[in-house]
Amino acid sequence: MNINWVYFSDTNFPPGEIKNYLEKQQFHLTSTNEINRLHSLLPGNNQTVLFLKAHTLFNVYNLCQEISALYPQVYIVLIVADNMENLKKAMLMGASDTLRSSYHLEELSEAVAHAKKFMQHRASMEHNVLNRVKENSRVIAVTSPKGGVGRTLLTVNLAVAFARMGKKVAVIDGNLQFGEVAIYYNMKPKRTIYEWVKEGYGHANYSISQYMTLVDGEVSVLAAPPRPEFFEGISEKHIKEAIEEAKKLFDIVLIDMQVYLSEIHLRFLDLADEILLLTVNEISVLRLSQLYLETLESIKLKDKVKLILNRQIKSQELDQKKIEEILGVDVYCTLPEQANVASSSIKAGQPFMLSNSRSHLGKAVWKLSEKLFVQKSEETTEMKKDKKWFQVGK
């Protein structure tokens, strides 16, 4: 892969260690301190990495924003003075990575490695994306109005179960401020939905999969932003586009929702084919679930709901029929109480569908994934029959 490495400084400050490091890896670095020359080096190459250093003639952040707007395909590594380092501002201005002026060799090495990996992934995606467009993909939102009932745990394990069935699976962390999907997979994503919104949104050659992280179990994760305040730049239109893009590449798109309903999260639910509402056999949680269902009914989304009863044990006060009577919907699936399995999975950062799939909880999740898959297959068959009958009748 031929990466176009470029260095710009608005003074005569040389690239120094950057040039030496790249040459040791058999890469060529083109450096310039002339803005016109820089503009001639950037167009037409989708594999360009730019080290951008400015503080005399230009404000480095403003220059970064200008270049990002003119050449959205360029991967910008912003070199800033130590006292000016502001990751949030850099990302908002279109940078892909940052380096402090007093960077260490290890930091430079890491920045170069990230850039190379990104370019390799981009090249791979551009080559294969047209051959991987999916049809009849499904979007499943996993939700609950109460935290701590196992929503994220179910999402990540259901994703692994679907992947074991041969499905291409993506998980979108819909908890845009305090998402935990990455933690449950024990990963530290380099790219998240925030970077996709800043770099990839609206650009056809920036596949959303470039901003996903492949985790154990062959599941791709679009993680939540790295900082809670970053969610402010994400809108409903971004969510809609993210889901539509993911549907082109994956058979199953799972969304891990958060407990409250904002306009963005209502959009998640609206775009979902199915809503898995997770609840437990506790009066307080059941009351919240009832209110949640009433809200969904008022916006005509209740028909999508499949009720999942988690941590169910026989000795609990309310039986299943009573719960169904209270909530006005049938229980679609029950998951047994198995705290040791769930706790070990969370602590290890590994889904129990990988480490302990033969547990009672693992078998229940596997049964749920099969039930969802079989039901969809039957629905598709019926739709085809109806279509055929309609055509014959016509």
Q: What is the mean pLDDT of residues 63-90?
A: 83
Are the CB atoms for 243 and 267 separated by under 8 Å? no
Q: What is the structure's pLDDT at 311?
A: 82
Amino acid at 203: H
The answer on 110 and 69 residing in a single domain is yes
Q: Assign residue 169 the CATH number of its domain.
A: 3.40.50.300
Q: What is the structure's pLDDT at 128?
A: 52
pLDDT band at 89 (very low <50, low <70, confident <90, very high): confident
Q: What is the structure's pLDDT at 1?
A: 60
Q: Which of 129, 160, 185 is the C-terminal boundary of a domain? A: 129
The answer on 203 and 347 residing in a single domain is yes
pLDDT band at 100 (very low <50, low <70, confident <90, very high): confident
pLDDT band at 246 (very low <50, low <70, confident <90, very high): very high
Looking at the predicted structure, is the pLDDT value of residue 387 above 60? no
Q: What is the mean pLDDT of residues 37-45?
A: 82
Tokens 């196992």 -> residue: 150
Q: Which of 129, 151, 181 is the C-terminal boundary of a domain? A: 129
pLDDT tens digits for 297-347? 999 999 999 999 998 776 666 788 889 998 999 999 999 988 899 989 999
Domain that holds residue 211: 134-393
The answer on 249 and 115 residing in a single domain is no
Round the average pLDDT of the chain to a whole number and report it: 85
Looking at the predicted structure, is the pLDDT value of residue 390 above 60? no
Q: Among positive and negative, which fits the CA dihedral 361, 362, 363, 369?
A: positive
The answer on 155 and 96 residing in a single domain is no
Q: What is the structure's pLDDT at 315?
A: 63
Are the CB atoms for 213 and 171 separated by under 8 Å? no
The answer on 138 and 102 residing in a single domain is no
Looking at the predicted structure, is the pLDDT value of residue 30 above 60? yes
C-alpha span between 94 and 3 (Å, rounded): 19
Looking at the predicted structure, is the pLDDT value of residue 261 above 60? yes
Looking at the predicted structure, is the pLDDT value of residue 123 above 80? no
Query: pTM for the full model?
Result: 0.64
Q: Beta strand pairing status for 29-32 and 75-80?
A: unpaired
Looking at the predicted structure, is the pLDDT value of residue 197 above 70? yes
pLDDT band at 98 (very low <50, low <70, confident <90, very high): confident
pLDDT tens digits for 159-189? 999 998 888 999 999 898 898 999 999 988 8
